Amino acid sequence: MKNKSIQKWSGSSGNTKKGYSIFLWLIDKGGRYAAYFLLKFVALYYWFFKKDANIALRDTYINKMGFSKSKASLLRLKNYIFFGQALIDKVTVALKAETHGLKIHRDGEHFFKEIINEGKGGILIGAHLGSWDLAGQLLAQLNIKVHIVMFDGEEPEIKKIIENKTGSVLYNAIYIRDNMNHIYEIHKALSNNEIVCLHGDRFVENDKNIKNLDFLEKNAYFPLGPFLLAAVMKAPVSFVYAIKKNRDFYHFTASKPKIYEEGASKLVATKILEDYKNLLEEQLKKNPEQWYNYYKFWNN
């Protein structure tokens, strides 16, 4: 399959308000497992009919990770199931009244206290591997003001639905817009000694990007913007992941915060990106079924 047929990511997750509402109702009335049951049919639909995502995942699993076609086929199905479960689980955690047996082990949580003690705020860079949103919610539960940077329209609906139901704010969303107002909002958050969470793995056409970064021994697309921002702000940087280990258990990890200060901004940004890329590659090899980039990620 030629990579040119894989669509680039547009900045929208493509999820619908109606779909979220159905799963929210199921979680509320029947619990997490009831939502999991419906998810099986949704995952099978994606496995058969979600063309662009299937092309992207086949390319990742077969051409980039070296899995057989049969193994890649199974991983695709597991991928859709894990992705759906991640959405269900973050709703379950947000509702708070009943977690239905969901357990989360935290490694590196003490680093966030170190970040706050430094007084410079902190930048957390994650990926679309595991449950990024759940990681953000966990931080909010630590009574730390959390801002999540996302594309305007990427995934506001589920946030609105949950907040309308619970009456509580999950986190503050900073939307990336052409007028660059998000830069001022991020700077203000860091000046207030707060936490800013970014994605580091979403390439967008015509944005600042690196198109030939070695990732799984292939040339990959990576955005430079999040890392350039971290370099300019000179705030502590930590890489975070929330990986699902089984139906009821997540493992949340955070790397030791590091301040990258020396050198020109672009050179520093490249260094941050290299550190981020190495850890992401390690996590992907361990958890290939939780890779949620459904577009052309590689440049070959």
Average of per-residue pLDDT across 67-89: 95
Residue 42: pLDDT band with limits 50, 70, 90: very high
Please give the pLDDT value at position 12.
Answer: 46
Please give the pLDDT value at position 154.
Answer: 53
6 vs 277, higher pLDDT: 277
Beta strands in the chain (DSSP E): 103-107, 122-126, 146-151, 172-176, 195-199, 209-215, 218-223, 237-246, 249-254
Average of per-residue pLDDT across 3-9: 45
Neighbours of 71 (CB within 10 A): 14
Of 69-73, 145-149, 287-291, the one with minimum mean pLDDT is: 145-149
User: What DSSP designation does 244 have?
Assistant: E
Assigned CATH for 3-290? 3.40.1130
Which residues have C-beta within 8 Å of that of residue 173, sequence separation ≥ 6?
147, 148, 149, 150, 156, 159
**Residue that the structure tokens 């280990």 belong to:** 245
Three-state SS sequence of 113-143: HHHHHHCCCEEEEECCECCHHHHHHHHHCCC
Specify which of 80-94, 109-123, 155-169, 235-249 reaches the highest per-range mean pLDDT.
Answer: 235-249
Written as one string, the DSSP assignment of 45-80 is HHHHH-HHHHHHHHIIIIIIT---HHHHHHHHHHHH
pTM recorded for the entire structure: 0.88
Neighbours of 222 (CB within 10 A): 23
142-197 per-position pLDDT tens digit: 777 888 888 755 555 666 766 676 666 667 888 887 778 888 999 999 999 999 99
The pLDDT mean for the chain works out to 84
Which structure tokens are listed for 297?
Answer: 């990620």
**Nearest alpha carbon to residue 88 among 174, 15, 150:** 15
The helix/strand/coil state of 148 is: strand
**Nearest alpha carbon to residue 189 among 150, 233, 231:** 233
> Distance between CA 89 and CA 41 in Å, rounded?
17
Which structure tokens are listed for 168?
Answer: 């509580």
